[in-house]
Amino acid sequence: MKEKIIVCLSSYFKGYDFIEEMNKLGNIVILVTSNSLKEKKWPWPSIKEVYYMDDLEPSVWNMDNLVEGFSHLMKTHKVDAVIALDDFDVEKAALVREIFRIPGMGQTTHRYFRDKLAMRQMAKDSGIKAPEFSSIFNDEIVNAFANNNAAPWVLKPRSEASATGIMKIKSREELWEAIEKLGNRRHYYLLETFKPGDVYHVDSLVFQKEIVFTSCAQYLSPPMEVSHEGGVFRTKTLRRYSEEFKALDEANTKVLKSFGLVNGATHTEFIRGKADGEWYFLETSSRVGGAHISDMVEASSDVNLWREWARIENALLKNINYKVPKITHFSAGLIIALANEKNPDYEVFQCEEVLKFLPLDHHVGIVYKSDSHEKVEQRLDEAAEMITKVYLNIILPNSKSKS
């Protein structure tokens, strides 16, 4: 079957397995990435051509330059697909597809997987429970929201990844001070109620509108908490037949079908309200979850989200069927933290449940796997205690931490 030409956009270093698998399946992969990532260990044998974009700031490219460069590329290449490997690249890919009429998610649908205000509105229109929210375009609307919803509130960017840029607001005075500081960028933010509770994530694969794989997990240290307070990021998979898994699976299905996702990988977050025990939608994205969540999912299920996403795209391009591989049901956990050493000594963490140590400079990163759900929890707790005592390096937010 004729090889297809795939252009991957990535303003962060990720998607190694996707690129490698797409090439392994007999396709030509072209990478467009940031100048700052030239020295990263991309899977070079799997990449036919690479083009670099200047970083205006992390993840930000000049879109006119991207379109102009793509125009030159199209003169000599018949591009079959454009893939965004990172959340920040979803809108870049949507724009390119729209302009050059390349199949895939366009600019209208992409907003439901990138723009948090669009997500909230779609959830509301679809009867999906979510925290109360408001745009902040209009002063009267902001004041009405503050009157009708008790503080604390959360002021968050509409198009950042994970907990980046989120501000917890405790009073009306603090709210208006924060809005004034945003200046003429206030339309890039939304306001919502802060809802205490446990935060969960659902990672899925979708093929021709059917959800063919689902993994559910609970953050033990939610991204917002780690981003704002520093500390140790932890998450653990849920038992497949548990009440929590079933509820999340059902909620995730409603979100993806309502939002119109047709194909690809997704990462969706929910919160279980502490006060009422109800499930609330937080946000979704059309990409593989960051912070090495895919490593934990693979440990639990034997499904590599990056490679299976590549296989889905390959099946679509070549009009062949896709079937998810046989799924295992192990318990798995993930722990990541900034470390005060470039290469921490992993010997102290060695135990039977360690599947692998993540090779991350200035981080401790461990993936656990076991038949025992309780054992994984125990190891995560022990590791968190050891990291906090010996290795933890806390840098409070200025930069972009992602999940």
Residue ranges per structural domain of the chain? 5-104, 132-193, 197-391
- What helix, strand, coil percent values describe the chain, rounded to 5? 40, 25, 35
Which token pair is 280?
């609330």
What is the chain's mean pLDDT, rounded?
93
Beta bridge partners of 53: 34
Q: Cα torsion at 108, 113, 116, 121 (round to 10°)?
A: 60
- Mean pLDDT throughout 3-24? 97
Global pTM reads 0.92
CATH of domain 5-104: 3.40.50.20
Query: How large is the angle between the packed helices 63-76 and 90-100, nearest 10 degrees?
Result: 50
**40-77 per-position pLDDT tens digit:** 999 999 999 999 999 998 889 999 999 999 999 999 99
The DSSP code for 389 is: I
* Beta-bridge mates of residue 220: none
Separation in Å, CA 358 to CA 16, 53, 190, 235, 394? 15, 28, 35, 15, 19
Question: How is domain 132-193 classified at the CATH fold level?
Answer: Dna Ligase; domain 1 (3.30.1490)
Q: Distance between CA 74 and CA 82 in Å, rounded?
A: 12
Task: Label residue 2 by pLDDT band (50, 70, 90).
Answer: confident
The per-residue pLDDT for 225 is: 58
Residue 221 predicted with pLDDT over 80: no
Torsion of CA 87, 311, 299, 349, to 10 degrees: -60
Q: Which of 7, 85, 78, 3 is nearest to 49 (CA)?
A: 7
What is the DSSP annotation of 40-105? S---GGG-SEEEEE--SBTTB--HHHHHHHHHHHHHH----EEEE-SGGGHHHHHHHHHHHT-SS-
DSSP letters, 333-350, are EEEEEEBSSSS--GGGG-
Least confident piece of the model among 83-92, 364-373, 389-398: 389-398
Cα 262 from chain centroid (whole Å): 18
Task: Specify the pLDDT at position 165.
Answer: 82
Assigned CATH class of 197-391 = alpha beta
Closest by CA to 337, choosing from 230, 235, 199, 200, is 230
